Amino acid sequence: MLEKTGVATEQDLARVTPSKERRAKGPVAVIECFQRIPCNPCQTACKTGAIKEFKDINDTPEIDHDACTGCGLCVSSCPGLSIVVVDETYSEEEALVKIPYEFLPLPEAGSFVTGLDREGKPVCRAKVVKVLNTKSMDRTPVVSLAVPKDMSMTVRFIKLNDYFSDNTIVCRCEELTMGELRELIRKGYNTVDEIKRISRAGMGPCQGRTCRQLIMQEIAAATGTKMADLTVSTYRPPVKPVKLGTIAGGEHGE
Amino acid sequence: MNKTASVVIIGGGISGASIAYNLAKKGVKDIIVVEKKFLTSGSTGRCGAGIRMQWGTEMNCRLSKFSTEFYETANEVLEYEGDIEFKQGGYLIVAATEKEDEQFKKNVALQNSLGIPTVYLTPKEAKKIIPHMDETKIISATFCQKDGHLNPFHTTQAFANAAERLGVKFMKYTEVTGIKVENGKVVGVQTDKGFISTPVVVNAAGGYSKQIGEMAGVDIPVYAERHQILVTEPVNQMQDPMYMGFALNVYIQQTPHGSFIMGRSGENEPRDLRITSSWDFTEKMAKDACTLLPMLKDLRVVRQWAGLYTMSPDRQPIYSKAGNVEGFYMSTGFSGHGFMLGPVTGVVMSEMILGEKPSLPIEKLGLDRFEKGELLFEPSVV
């Protein structure tokens, strides 16, 4: 329930999400405003008439997505920070999501940040493409983020630290970082088995219990393959570390 | 997609990578290495990765001395951006029977005559080198400081990277399904990714080299036997040399990374290309390790695996061209020592293919030695 959790439900979202076809045509505003309050700056900011005139100032806004040009004027006008612009035509792999961001410091264009979903959960890396902060925006800067295309309707906020950063340790036993993993994948090691052999990731005491999945996720993301289609590395006995003395017979019935 | 190559090398292990590098270095263009899975996915990536110069035949001593000297400067010669992790902690080879002790005395004399600095040790002297060993289990030992251990993945990658810079193409995940021979000459290799026209094929397929030979109609008297290894969690450095015994049927070493790697030969290991693991091995290996090096009993085993030894009748390599098929070469039968001989394999095979004078007298390692009955039996094998 939105009123209790502050997180929009799927039903709520279904009502305000622009169609897939519309999103494929170019930038469009997504108004995730679900609470009736006396508020209409989005409507007055809209120069194309896509946001329809309010009958009652308490109404939630209604938008004609086909009339919307995705100009983004409404984004910084919304005091509730509930409007974003989504552009799925940004590039082959990525979508652009423009979000209002009222924290300091502002992110720097070109930096990588963590994309968060509506619950504040990290979901992907996001690249800051542009930070717009003009006088008319009245201290509600708009941050343009490049995110994986399938994240366009998921990423709604950011955290400035880079959760999925290159310094994150992927294999704790052998201390392989995400950055090192990415470098290996770039060099063409694109199966878990190859990465295991060249980096020792997965060869430590945990035998890949932590890193195997993470490595597969990263390979899948980097190569555009489904995780289900990747080859899993071999599971080898004894699965959990066992003392040589125990295997040999032990001393006290070990 | 059909291709043309001047040489097709079958097998992306240490042998294939080294042969490709050496041929390319000598100016050969259009070399393709075909590998069924990925580099080192076969025997190379599964081996114990030790290298020793302590052998019982002059041939193996000379081959391994050549390779050891190469590995000492391999990072620089191959301009590798990583590290092949060559640790020359030595091999301590222990004698457990009177017969073995006698043989070792002969071996040391042979090795010393070839410039290999092996010394003969009493059990007490041996214990100074590996303090945690039970010296009562041995009669004597021999030690060569220059023997050691490398990382097989990085070593192969170093050769492969250097070869790629010289223009060699590596086709990963490509399986050879046939070899086309016309009028007694190799004309091409059929793969699941297309046909490659080539006048020269090099069989460096390790455990699968018999099958590759059959595709060209060449009978190679080798068989692939499963051998198993286990590895422990890494601990602080406590053992520099490899501990090895032939009568004791064991080798135990600590890698620079800290983990202990150990293996032994099984009595009834399958010869059907199987590389599964067996409990029988784990149990016997653990018992041997705890008996010979008792301190290891508290080390935890994290993993075990298996690979293939390509066994030749006399336990020595086969560096040869086929008598009946022109353009078909083979480098196989290493009997568990293909990784350590990688550098010399590349040199002598490239010389053979280009018709050059061999750097080492390898004429006796030809395929025809089995027909002639001129075997060079190697006594020092685990």
Is residue B80 in a domain? no
Task: Quickly state the pLDDT bin for B267 (edges 50, 70, 90).
Answer: confident
Q: Does A197 touch chain B (CB under 8 A)?
A: yes
Do B247 and B366 lie in a common domain?
no
- Residue B138, both tokens: 């041995």
Q: Which of A161-175, B17-31, B117-131, B161-175 has the lowest mean pLDDT?
A: A161-175
Given B311, B326, B347, the domain boundary residue is B311
Given B311, B344, B360, the domain boundary residue is B311
Residue closest to B103 by CA, chosen among B53, B139, B133: B139
Residue closest to B204 by CA, chosen among B43, B23, B315: B43
- Strand-pairing partners, residue B196, are B3, B189
Do B133 and B15 lie in a common domain?
no
Burial A144-180 (b: 16+ CB within 10 A, else e): bbbbbbebbbbbbbbeeebbbeeeebbbebbebebeb
Q: Does B165 touch chain A (CB under 8 A)?
A: no
Q: Provide the domain count of chain B.
A: 2
pTM of the model: 0.77
Q: Which domain holds residue B186?
A: 3-46+153-222+314-372
Spell out the domains of chain A, with CATH numbers in brackets. 2-159 (no CATH), 166-254 (1.10.10.1100)
Do B168 and B22 lie in a common domain?
yes
More confident residue, B1 or B264: B264
Which CATH number fits the domain that encloses residue B25?
A: 3.50.50.60
Backbone angles phi, psi at B348, to 5 degrees: -70, -35
Do B306 and B227 lie in a common domain?
yes
Determine whether the interchain pair A193/B38 forms a contact, defined as Cβ–Cβ distance below 8 Å: yes
| pLDDT (tens digit per residue) in A117-163 | 998 888 998 999 999 999 999 999 999 999 999 999 999 999 998 77
Distance of CA B43 to the CA centre of its chain: 8
Q: Give the SS3 label for residue A43.
A: helix
Determine whether the interchain pair A247/B305 forms a contact, defined as Cβ–Cβ distance below 8 Å: no
| pLDDT (tens digit per residue) in A67-123 | 999 999 999 999 999 999 999 999 999 999 999 999 999 999 988 899 999 988 889
Determine whether the interchain pair B282/A238 forms a contact, defined as Cβ–Cβ distance below 8 Å: yes
Residue A24, amino acid: A
Q: What is the mean pLDDT of residues B286-306?
A: 96
Determine whether the interchain pair A237/B286 forms a contact, defined as Cβ–Cβ distance below 8 Å: no
Q: How many CB pairs under 8 A join A and B?
A: 76
Is residue B172 in a domain? yes
Residue A105: cis peptide before it, omega within 30 degrees of 0 = yes
Q: Does A241 touch chain B (CB under 8 A)?
A: yes
Given B311, B330, B357, the domain boundary residue is B311
| pLDDT (tens digit per residue) in B343-372 | 999 999 999 999 999 999 999 999 999 999
| pLDDT (tens digit per residue) in B237-262 | 999 999 999 999 999 999 988 999 99
Is residue B74 in a domain? no
| pLDDT (tens digit per residue) in A13-48 | 999 999 999 999 999 999 999 999 999 999 999 999
Q: Give the CA distances from residue A15 to residues A9, A19, A33, A73, B109, in Å, rounded to whole numbers and listed in that order.
A: 10, 10, 10, 22, 89
Which CATH number fits the domain that encloses residue B96?
A: 3.30.9.10
Is residue B160 in a domain? yes
Question: To the nearest whole percent, how much of chain A has pLDDT over 70?
Answer: 98
| pLDDT value, residue A254 | 44
Is residue B61 in a domain? no
Do B126 and B188 lie in a common domain?
no
Is residue B379 in a domain? no
Parallel, antiparallel, or unpaired for β B91-95 and B242-245? parallel
Do B141 and B215 lie in a common domain?
no
| pLDDT value, residue A223 | 86
Is residue B82 in a domain? no
Do B300 and B359 lie in a common domain?
no
| pLDDT value, residue B147 | 97
Do B346 and B206 lie in a common domain?
yes
Do B319 and B180 lie in a common domain?
yes
Is residue B103 in a domain? yes
Do B121 and B214 lie in a common domain?
no
DSSP secondary structure letter of residue B79: T
| pLDDT (tens digit per residue) in B50-101 | 999 999 999 999 999 999 999 999 999 999 999 999 999 999 999 999 999 9
